Chain A
């Protein structure tokens, strides 16, 4: 990996841990057993624009960070982001646009987050109806934010997939 991929991944991981901590009071939604902080998916979504490995690392990194700060259930849900981040990054590498990739990974995100909470005592209804649908709504809102941030960032930073083979 290039040093730049590692440093961008590190900074985005820091942001994905930081956003729920710093803005949970303003953007937090708690509908038990579901909890979420709007904008918390944006760093992973932007990491998809760098490379698949960066997206996976930001997802895994945020899971480790959440385990450190918020406990295992939140960490398990954060680990799911590595999976949808990878799929989204692959789509972008193949030429799909950012908004299209974000829409395509929405069902993956919702289903995986629902599944991953079941070992912690959530039953089928709570996992799929509450967590799953809550995640879909959360993903949609964060996609809109990520797209807005992307179009604001891109003229300045010219984000584009890094060709890791060159």
Chain B
């Protein structure tokens, strides 16, 4: 198996306005986007959301193949969701074969749910495609900072995420080396049923975890030697600033929300 072929992160470097937005704004707008998807109740509402996301993708200059790549792992879920909704929703039958019944309402619901799922994945993919993992971590820490007052350890969580992201490539390399060393001694990781493969993982996992714990101890010692004492009173090398492009994005998002909300409640009247 080719561990090294794994793409570390989905970040696609670029210098577009969306790449350069403050990560806090991008994260919050992504959360708002997800909420809007569950507010939409008809297809005209989706028109506004689709236009919004298409404009975002266009401005970010992220190639469409990356967007589709984000959708691929969930095609199975998508198809099953569609099938369940098409055939199990009560309503007016438009086609049947034996006990299988396709209803107009089911077909409509299947399409609706699928659009929602696709937009959900495209929206969150865009966030991770245009924001580096370290910037995401910075954004998350600053978003969580106000909650420190009620005991949420924002700094510790952000520090842990930064350490995790930094060590993923290192540990991947190590896993690859350990796997090859064990295979050189006769270990077989790829044949047999799933239970045998799980057992075969132990000679790989044990050294991997031992090395991880040793690295953790060494890193903790090094951090303390450099006077790390936790989040209080620390300054920040990289400052985040909200700029004009962030305000523009916020305004456009508010307009989109207003259109969706008006559309929903006008139809309800």
User: Chain A interface (Cβ within 8 Å of chain B)?
Assistant: 1-4, 6-15, 17-18, 21-23, 25-27, 29-30, 32-33, 38-39, 42, 46, 53, 57, 60-61, 64-65, 67-73, 119-123, 126, 141, 144-145, 148-149, 152-153, 156-157, 159
Contact = CB atoms under 8 A, between A and B. Distances in A.
Given A32-B77, A57-B160, A68-B133, A22 B175 contact: yes
Given A3-B224, A68-B128, A71-B70, A13 B161 contact: yes
Interface in B108-125: 113, 116-117, 120-121, 124-125
B111 to A, nearest CB: 12
Nearest to A117: B77
Classify the interface of chain B: helix, strand, loop or mixed.
helix
A121 B163 contact: no
Given A13-B164, A70-B73, 8 more contacts: A3-B223, A9-B160, A9-B163, A10-B164, A14-B212, A26-B190, A57-B156, A69-B9
A18 B117 CA distance: 26
Contact of B164 (A2, A17, A122): A17
A7 B219 CA distance: 7
Contacts of A122: 81
Given A7-B220, A18-B175, A32 B80 contact: yes
The size bracket of the interface on B is 35 or more
14 contacts: A10-B160, A11-B167, A17-B164, A18-B171, A29-B194, A32-B77, A60-B157, A64-B140, A64-B161, A71-B121, A145-B202, A152-B202, A152-B206, A153-B206
Contacts of A156: 210
Interface of B: 1, 3, 6, 9-10, 34, 38, 70, 73-74, 76-77, 79-81, 84, 88, 113, 116-117, 120-121, 124-125, 128, 133, 136, 140, 153, 156-157, 159-168, 171-172, 175-176, 189-190, 194-195, 197-198, 201-202, 205-206, 208-210, 212-213, 215-217, 219-220, 223-224, 228, 230
B217 A39 contact: no
Given A32-B80, A33-B76, A70-B73, A39 B172 contact: no
A27 B219 contact: no
A68 B6 CA distance: 14
Contacts of B121: 71-72
Contacts of B113: 121
Central interface residue in A1, A7, A9, A156, by most chain B CB within 10 Å: A7
Contact of A149 (B10, B133, B202, B219): B202
Nearest to A142: B198
Central interface residue in B74, B160, B220, by most chain A CB within 10 Å: B160
B172 A1 contact: no
Contacts of A2: 220
B164 A8 contact: no
Nearest to B70: A71
A26 B205 CA distance: 14
